[in-house]
Amino acid sequence: MHRFVQTNEEDPEAGGALIGRYISGTGDVVVDEITVPLPPDEQTRKTFHRTQASHQQKIEMAWMDSGHTQTYLGEWHTHPEAVPVPSELDRLNWTEKLSRDRFGESLFFLIVGTERIRAWEGRPGTGVKNLAGKEQSPSLQ
C-alpha cells in the first residue's frame, strides 16, 4: 500500500481488497495479501472504483490455494491527505458492502493517507467503528 501513497498532486487514488485469515478464538485477523489496482479499475485524483471481477478472481484463488483459510477481509484505498477521513461516499460504500458482500465476522476498511493509515471495522447490524484505540494508525514516515 505504501507505494500507492498520493505524495504528488498528479497521483490518483488506488485501492483493492484485503485478503487474510480470522484467527480462531482470538478476535484477531491477519492480512496476508492485498490486491492492487487492476485493469479495468477506475482511478482519479479523488476517487477509486474497484471492479469486481478481477479482484474477486484473486480472492477466490487465495481461498482455494490456502485450503479455505484465506478469505476476503475488506477494502483499502488511498486519500491525498495526511490523516485520512472517510468521505460520505466511503461510508455509503462500506454500508453497502456490509449488506451485500459475503464475509466472516466483520469487514475492515483501511484508508492510506500521506502520513497515516486509519482503519475501521464494520459488522452487519452494528455499523462501522473507528479502530483508533487498536494501534491502527502507523506513521508512513
Q: Which residues are marked as active site?
A: 13
Residues 6+ apart with CB under 8 A from 75: 15, 16, 17, 18, 50, 93, 94, 97, 107, 108, 109, 110
- Rounded-to-integer distance, Cα 96 and Cα 101, Å: 8
For 17, the 3-state DSSP assignment is strand
Q: What is the 3-state secondary structure (H, E, C) of 64-110?
A: HHCCCCCEEEEEEEECCCCCCCCCHHHHHHHHHHHHHCCCCCCEEEE
